[in-house]
Amino acid sequence: MLDQRLLRDNPELIRQQLARRGLELDPNLQGKVRQVRDLEEQRSNLQAEGNRIGREVGQRIRAGAQADGQELASLREEGNQIKSQVAKLEEQEKELEAELRKQLEVLPNLPSAHSPEGRSEADNVNVKTWGEPRRGPRADGSPLEEHWQIAERLGLVDTERSVRIAQSRFITLLGQGARLERALINFMLDRHSAAGYGEVMPPILVNTASLTGSGQLPKFAEESFKCAEDDLWLTPTAEVPLTSLHRSEVLAAEQLPLRYTAYTPCFRREAGSYGRDTRGLIRLHQFNKVELYWFCHPDQSDAAHEQLTRDAEGVLEALELPYRRIELCCGDLGFSAARTYDLEVWLAGAGAYREISSCSTCADFQARRSDIRFRDGKKTKLVHTLNGSGLAIGRTMAALLEHGQQDDGSVRLPAVLKPYFGGDRLLAEL
RNA sequence: GGAGAGGUGGCCGAGUGGUCGAAGGCGCAGCACUGGAAAUGCUGUAUAGGGGCAACUUUAUCGAGGGUUCGAAUCCCUCCCUCUCCGCCA
């Protein structure tokens, strides 16, 4: 959420920054903020007067006056009048404030000064490329297979039965496939833990306050699955429970940065993506992900963003998967993000780079929504929060399959996975 | 699911209608004492918003929301949460 004080004092700045995302600032908003402030002032002045009367009545009673006597009748009357006036102002104030909040909650974060200008994906900036993309065809002239072909052929997944169990866009992993998924989760968690991230296994049903705190609600309700009978939703990313891990807390400055890693399943409706990526592991309603998350001092957040991104890249490098780092332009930034690097892994069979991680700094946007502060001398300040995938497991498996496919039909796995998977190859005949 | 108990400041805990934003203790910070420390003593120690250069001042907040009252942590209603016992369950 944006800073109301900033909106009051410097609406022009907000207008300019939102414009970089291609959004217009409602010109009424500033007036509304001021109106709420004025009502607040009137109301609190009246309340001060009411409190004074209350105190005076108390004093007179202690001095011997009759509580319900004639002497205090006029004071009681005055108190009653103030009370009804306050009630009226309060009603207006509440209404206006609710309106204001509704408008503010759907405004996205302001882009960072570093974020490049641009309207869409096409304006994103390629920051770096790592590794040599593998390209077909094979020695025998046939093209490289796509991961879903390999997965079906090796019996790693069962697509049809997954529909029977749930519906389309759900996958069942079998045998070596299930084992590889588990190996990847463990490998990533171990790696991040060793780098100093605290391991967390949070609830994956989260309440409305948690989703609002990290920015998924109220604007993106249609993207999440909701439990009908409860105030609980299936988390779309571990970012949600991790943000709320410290919701409404005041952290000690010495604790910062707090760094966490969490494996969770993630659930997304993928509304509006019908027909896209219908095969394989790329776009599912349920997928596994290992997340990285930082709570840090505002002064540290740029360096933290680079470090977090490096930690995610480190996983790709350890897995020997070629990738590139893309910096999102203002127009392509997610709702809560001020600045984002997407990591795109090379899918050798598809012959394209695909997003496998998104590393964002949200500055104080989520911290303000979630009320997460730290003690800064006498005062408290909002922390900065950062999140990134490290990595999406299904897409990692897809990349490994396409990258490691061999002419004999097997798939060679990177050496680091051997202790986790128990082998360095997915075999064709099992 | 059934029965009961309870939600007060960083923590413990007192407080059943009137200077209560809240006694006392612990913790923490500063000062004194000490060669240094412990112990001891003194002082200070919630958050958010408004006004003010500041000292300061004002409003709100004792789980949440309503109500009674001139006045509510304290009385009434609704909801949420936590704990204990029983049942069920991986």
Return the closest nucleotide (C1') to the Cα of A60.
B18
Q: For residue A315, with 0-12 CB atoms within 10 Å meaning exposed, 13-18 middle and 19 or more buried, which class applies?
A: buried
Question: Which pLDDT value is given to residue A61?
Answer: 86
Tens-place pLDDT, residues A264-276: 999 999 887 877 8
d(CA A187, CA A141): 35
Q: Give the mean model confidence (pLDDT) for residues A263-291.
A: 91
Mean of the per-residue pLDDT values of chain A? 92
Tens-place pLDDT, residues A41-75: 999 999 999 999 998 898 888 887 777 777 788 88
Q: Is the CB of A85 under 7 A from strand B?
A: no
Tens-place pLDDT, residues A360-417: 999 999 999 998 888 887 788 899 999 999 999 999 999 999 999 999 999 999 999 9
Report strand pairing: A198-200 vs A258-267: parallel
d(CA A356, CA A395): 6
Q: Is the CB of A380 under 7 A from strand B?
A: yes
Q: Is the CB of A34 under 7 A from strand B?
A: no
Q: How confident is the model at residue A109 (pLDDT cuts 50, 70, 90)?
A: very high
% pLDDT > 90, chain A: 70
d(CA A346, CA A402): 9
Return the closest nucleotide (C1') to the Cα of A44.
B59
Find and give the residue nearest to B70, measured CA to C1'. A76
d(CA A90, CA A366): 28
Q: How far, in Å, is the CA of A98 from the C1' of nucleotide B35?
A: 65
Question: Which pLDDT value is given to residue A229?
Answer: 78
pTM of the model as a whole: 0.92
Q: Give the mean model confidence (pLDDT) for residues A219-223.
A: 91
- Are A251 and A282 spatial neighbours (Cβ–Cβ below 8 Å)? no
Q: Give the mean model confidence (pLDDT) for residues A187-213.
A: 94
Q: Is the CB of A250 under 7 A from strand B?
A: yes
Q: Give the mean model confidence (pLDDT) for residues A238-253.
A: 89
Greater confidence (A231 vs A358) lies with A358
Q: Give the mean model confidence (pLDDT) for residues A119-138.
A: 94
Return the closest nucleotide (C1') to the Cα of A379.
B47
Which helix (DSSP H) or strand (DSSP E) does residue A360 occupy? strand A352-361
Q: Is the CB of A5 under 7 A from strand B?
A: yes
d(CA A342, CA A108): 19
